[in-house]
A and B are shown apart, each in its own frame.
Chain A
Amino acid sequence: MNKLIKKALPSAIALALLGGANLVSAAVNVQCPGDTDGDAVIDSPDPDHPNAVCKHLIAGDSFSVMSDGNPMYMFGFGEQTGTDPAVVIGDGILDAEWPGPTIELDQGDEFYLSLSNVGTVIRPDLFDPHTVHFHGFPNAATVFDGVPEVSISINHGATLTYYYNIVEPGTYIYHCHVEASEHMEMGMLANLYVHPQQDVTGCDPLTNCPVATRKGGTDPGAPTGYTYNDNDGTTAWDVEEPIQVSSFDPDFHDASLFVQPLPFAALEAKYPMINGRGYPDTIIPGDLPAPTDNMAPVAGHPPGKVTGNPGEVLNNGTPVQTEDSVITVTQGQTLLLRLSNVSIDRFYTLKAQGLPMKIIGTGSRQMRGQTGKNIYRDVSSVNFGGGEIHDVLIDTADVAVGTYFLHAAELHQMSNLTQLDGGMITEIEVLTP
């Protein structure tokens, strides 16, 4: 395995650079108003598109590592905004992140999202196209909806730019929809959320909801932000954290790595995760180190499962698990949890013993009825399946200082395969004011 990868890598990179099967036309081509050099960074704002926001992602493959040391082959999205387009494919190889880069937008943005397909270097036999599906986008048109059966998807070595006019605030998801059962299990999943216009404008009367501090508000009672354009201040928050729950089935990922038939029917979540990590990795701030091949036997594999060389650094040393789930809030503040479930085979229930939860939004919309009635729900747990999104406020005014666990109420999901006290857990620390 080790020799195979070392020899296959340069030729596969050369293939990807040439665009593989689409030699004639393939090219990285970022479209972004006001960007003059193709790196998806606006150099001089285009007066016709003053609110343009651009991003350049790659779709490719890489390895992540589970909290028990088991390296997982995966597909994913990687951040390449700001990269010279001439080197994007080279940089993007083995740089798929888990989860994909978080996308944070403001209502009113014109969002230009360029997706370049760098191929799957570890599986050079595959020629899979990729897409972005903006899950929950209102009034979606098929062309930018990313469902390959009914739309278009991007081939190796080329770029497709998606356009989204951002008018609805809320918590969303984005993921690849190509061969959805496979690409989503393989890790092409990420957080996406949109801040409301009310952060900028406040509402009438301003005493209920002053301009948010994240948009320059100076009122002493101003929150950091609002979740929705609520017009009554009831969705205000001081600290926010995206919490995306997911799971990997190691048998599926190993089947992909070792070029075996994929077990769809037998698929079973065995590595429950929050933001791409099992506990205790969830509370390590910042990036996890670049993954390394396993030193000790794990899950039936000998040391060096991937390369035959225990401890060998994978991904050319690039860290890919960049989203921690460290949550720190000062007593009296309101915490917004942007919960989404992207598991492809099961429901999860999240709870945080000792912390009161209020669901204020579902499916990227405020919980408000047809006649304008707020129909928030005070709960102690949130049960949700794949594709479901809940915005949950935790008011810490009456909460004791200390450390709380946010975890799966299905207690057996608090494990990393056979390793206990792991899996779907993170910590919420409530500090003394």
Chain B
Amino acid sequence: MKPIYKQPGRFLGVLALGLALVLPWAGSQAAHDIRGITGPTFNLYAFPFNMNLPDGSSVHMWGFGDIDAGANASFHRDPDDPTGPFIQYGAGYGVPQYPAPTLIVNQNEAVTINLSNFGVPQPVSIVVTGHQVTAMGSGVEGLVTQASPDKNSLPPGTPNTVTYSFTASEPGTYIYHSLNGANPGLHAEMGLQGVLIVRPTGYNATSNRIAYNEAGTDYEQEFLYLLTEVDPDLHFEVERGHFNHSTNSDRLATIWFVNGRVFPDLFQGDFNTLFPNQPYQALALAHPGDKVLVREVNAGHDPHPFHHHGENMFFIGRDGRALSSDGLTADLGRSDNTLNSAPKQAVDMIWTWTGKDLNWDIYGTTTGPLGRPDLAHSCSNPACPDGNGDGFDDGTGDACWDVSTREYCPDHNKEFPVNLPGVADLSLGGWWSGSPFLGDTGNLPPGEGGLNPFGGYFLVWHSHAEKELTTFDIFPGGSLSSMVILPAAAPID
């Protein structure tokens, strides 16, 4: 196989993709963790900001920010290199953000969130799905709990911090958001919403990556898919101080987000400075065979049918509870390729792409249509156990997959099944590598392609209410994100 990802020029080109390739070439099974800030104590503030969209417009938002400016941002390191360096994403990041900071805590911790309103013109509160939260401090009585009033509305020096306390008794994925004011949906609509992740007691970032304590919830890669939507007209009214001009009957969302960004911004990396208030990417990455934990959360007001290309996912948890009949195994989860994502619902699922049974060699062959001598490669388990001759392995796990390339060996050396039309007969996507083979690139006309120098397989993950692939009436945009299958040796962190 042509070692294209070793060429420095293409390596640099990957930055355009948002793939954070800071690790040296290692050939190891690196892994991605959801970015966030760790507890058990969080100090958040609320403040308004304006957020730019790719069509050039901006939307007025209210956001939560981290007073500690990422001092407790989560650390990640290569699980195959447990003595290697820690990398901290989001250190120094403290602006108000959309969505709110992802809070990461451990099961059974006593969690404290101190909230101070630095400038949102209405008292702001925090409610946390699935938890019994106690509020105390210097707030005012709000709709359902204490709320922090705008400090600018108080005499100088008046305390306005509210402390929310709870015990993170069950692992899983939860939503926290503000719920206050005459229009109870306004605060979440304006952006005062984020995700809380509770790691199970048995979790270890390098040796035991699990979503729940139940079996069947282990994973290699972890990604957040936070779905929200915005009605910009409502935000324009709020920006002008007309807090009561919009009611539920007027609301019609026309911008759809994943992790607070729209296509194509959401392909760019975490904490990209192009998007100062939208720190989180929504480009998922995996190698063939990786178990990918997707924490898919709908924090919006509308339902979204979210579709995953490439393979089905297996549901393992919902709203902070494993889908289990016996507390031992996540045995009640089903398979689907589209999540019926209801508002304020959080679903945890495992997605795995193996390339199995395509009936052609994903790394290409030396003969047949599109064959090339430089595509020659080996597969180290060509005779995997298939006693009954059904073409599948006999349930012995990874026996059929090459250890280093993750190729499914029964498909090894099978020629590509058809000839592809010439480039003049094709329209070419920007993320098309020019080759159907994984880790390969082909010759493309000038100005075409170029956004996929790794030869990754882009498998889009998007709302299947295709109207939602627009940003304020412009296609393409909205909640069109992607998973990228990368060659096994490509680093993911």
Contact B312 A365 (CB under 8 A): yes
Contact B475 A363 (CB under 8 A): no
A384 to B303, CA, bound (A): 10
CB neighbours of A185 from chain B (8 A)? 466-467
B304 interface residue (CB < 8 Å to A):
yes
The listed residue (B311, B418, B467) touching A161 by CB distance below 8 A is B418
Complex CA–CA separation, A39 to B334 (angstroms):
41
Q: Say whether B475 contacts A264, CB under 8 Å.
A: yes
B167 at interface (Cβ–Cβ under 8 A)?
no
A152:B426 contact, CB within 8 angstroms: yes
- A145-B459, A363-B312, A369-B331 as given contacts; A180 in contact with B469, CB under 8 Å: yes
Q: For residues 356 through 397 of chain A, which have their beta carbon under 8 Å from a beta carbon of chain B?
A: 362-371, 373, 375, 383-389
The reply on A296 being an interface residue by CB < 8 A is no
Contacts A139-B356, A182-B475 hold; do A264 and B425 have CB atoms under 8 A apart? Answer: no
Cβ-neighbour of B305 out of A139, A154, A263, A384 (below 8 A): A384
Set A24, A142, A181: member contacting B475, Cβ < 8 A? A181
* CB proximity to A under 8 Å, residues B248-296: 252, 254
Given contacts A150-B458, A343-B465, contact A264 B329 (CB under 8 A): no
Among the interface residues A26, A265, A266, which one has the most CB atoms of the partner chain B within 10 A? A265
| A302: interface (CB < 8 Å) | no
Tell me the bound Cα distance from A248 to B91 in angstroms.
49
Of A165, A346, A362, the contact of B334 (CB 8 Å cutoff): A362
Contacts of B355 in A (CB 8 A): 139, 141
Please tell me if A184 contacts chain B, counting CB pairs below 8 Å. yes
Q: Is B321 an interface position by the 8 A CB rule?
A: no
Contacting A at CB under 8 A, from B105-145, are: none
Interface of chain A residues 12 through 26 with chain B (CB within 8 A):
22, 24-26
Residues of A within 8 A of B304 (CB): 385
Cβ distance B127 to chain A, nearest Cβ, rounded Å: 26
Q: What chain B residues lie within 8 Å of A152 (beta carbons)? A: 420, 426-429, 432
- Bound CA–CA A107/B265 (angstroms): 40
**Option from B254, B335, B429, B465 in Cβ contact (under 8 Å) with A344:** B465
Q: How many A-B residue pairs have CB under 8 A?
A: 225
Known: A110-B359, A142-B459, A147-B429. A345 touches B465 (CB 8 A): yes
Distance of A259 Cα from B365 Cα, bound (Å): 47
User: CB < 8 Å: which of A142, A162, A179, A370 contacts B330?
Assistant: A370
Contact A385 B305 (CB under 8 A): yes
Residues of B near A388 (CB, < 8 A) are: 305, 336, 338, 340, 464
Q: Is the CB of A158 within 8 A of B421?
A: yes
Q: Are A387 and B420 in contact (CB under 8 A)?
A: no
A265 to B458 alpha-carbon distance, docked (Å): 27
Check A140–B309 contact: CB distance below 8 A: yes
CB atoms of A165 and B359 under 8 A apart: yes
Q: Smallest CB–CB gap between B255 and chain A, Å?
A: 9
Q: Flag whether B94 is at the interface (Cβ < 8 A).
A: no
A101-149 residues at the B interface, CB under 8 angstroms: 110, 112, 129, 135-136, 138-145, 147-149
Q: Give the distance in Å from the alpha carbon of A375 to the alpha carbon of B332 in the complex.
A: 7
Contact of A154 among B325, B354, B421, B466 (CB under 8 A): B421
Given the complex of chains A and B, what is the CA–CA distance between A149 and B263 in angstroms? 11
Contact in complex: B358, A139 (CB < 8 Å):
yes
A114: min CB distance to chain B, Å: 9
> What is the interface of chain B mostly: helix, strand, loop, or mixed?
loop
Contact check, A362 vs B335: say whether CB atoms are below 8 A apart.
yes
Chain B hits for A387, CB < 8 A: 305, 307, 337-338, 464
Contact partner, B353, options A129, A139, A155, A160, Cβ 8 Å: A139
Q: Which residues of chain A come closer than 8 Å to B340, judged between CB atoms?
A: 347, 383-385, 388
A179 to B466, CA, bound (A): 9
Sort chain A's interface into a size bin. 35 or more
Q: Is the C-beta of A67 less than 8 angstroms from some C-beta in chain B?
A: no
Structural contact, B466 and A165, CB atoms closer than 8 A: no
Give every chain B residue within 8 A of A294 (Cβ-Cβ).
Answer: none
A140 to B421, CA, bound (A): 20
- Beta-carbon contacts of B302-342 to A below 8 Å, as 1s and 0s? 01110101111010000000010100011111111110100
Please state if A184 and B429 are interface contacts (CB–CB under 8 Å). Answer: no
CA distance A178 to B323 in the complex (A): 37
From A159, A163, A370, contact of B331 by CB (8 A): A370
B358 lies within 8 A of A150 (CB): no
Q: How far is the CA of A343 from the CA of B467 in the complex (A)?
A: 9
**Partner among A154, A265, A383 whose Cβ is within 8 Å of the Cβ of B473:** A265
Cα–Cα distance between A273 and B340 once the two chains are bound (Å): 21
Chain A residues whose CB sits within 8 angstroms of the CB of B394 once the complex forms: none
**Is B436 on the interface with A (CB-CB < 8 A)?**
yes
Q: B475 and A22: CB pair below 8 A?
A: no
B307 to chain A, nearest CB (A): 4
CB <8 Å contact, A385 and B338 = yes
**Inside 8 A of B310's CB, which chain A residues have their CB?**
139-140, 145
Nearest CB of chain A from residue B386's CB, rounded to whole Å: 14
Q: How far is the CB of A255 from chain B (nearest CB, A)?
A: 12
Interface residue from A142, A157, A165, A367 paired with B436 (Cβ < 8 Å): A142
Bound complex: CA of A153 vs CA of B431, how far in Å? 13
Q: Which residues of A contact B333 (CB under 8 A)?
A: 369-370
Bound complex: CA A384 to CA B338 (Å): 10
- Give chain B residues whose Cβ lies under 8 Å from the Cβ of A165: 357-359
Q: Which of B216, B358, B359, B476 contacts A149 (CB 8 A)?
A: B476
A167 CB-CB contact with B under 8 Å: yes
With contacts A142-B457, A369-B333 taken as known, whether A265 is within 8 angstroms of B254 at the C-beta atoms is: yes
Q: How far is the CA of A364 from the CA of B336 in the complex (A)?
A: 7
Q: Which of A50-96 contact B (CB under 8 A)?
A: none
Q: Does A267 contact B (CB under 8 A)?
A: yes
Q: Cβ of A150 and Cβ of B470 under 8 Å apart?
A: no
Give chain A nearest CB distance to B233 CB in angstroms.
Answer: 10
Interchain nearest-CB distance for A363 vs B (Å): 3
Q: A29-B421, A363-B335, A387-B338 are in contact. List 7 more A-B contacts (CB 8 A).
A: A26-B425, A149-B430, A184-B466, A264-B470, A346-B465, A386-B338, A386-B466
User: Can you list 8 A-B pairs with a CB-CB distance of less than 8 A?
Assistant: A139-B356, A150-B452, A152-B420, A152-B429, A158-B421, A344-B466, A365-B335, A371-B331
- Which residues of A line the B interface, CB within 8 A? 22, 24-26, 29, 31, 110, 112, 129, 135-136, 138-145, 147-155, 157-163, 165, 167, 178-182, 184-185, 263-267, 341, 343-347, 362-371, 373, 375, 383-389
For the complex of A and B, the 10 pairs showing the least CB-CB separation, nearest first, are A387-B464, A385-B305, A363-B336, A150-B458, A143-B436, A165-B359, A158-B425, A365-B335, A150-B431, A129-B427
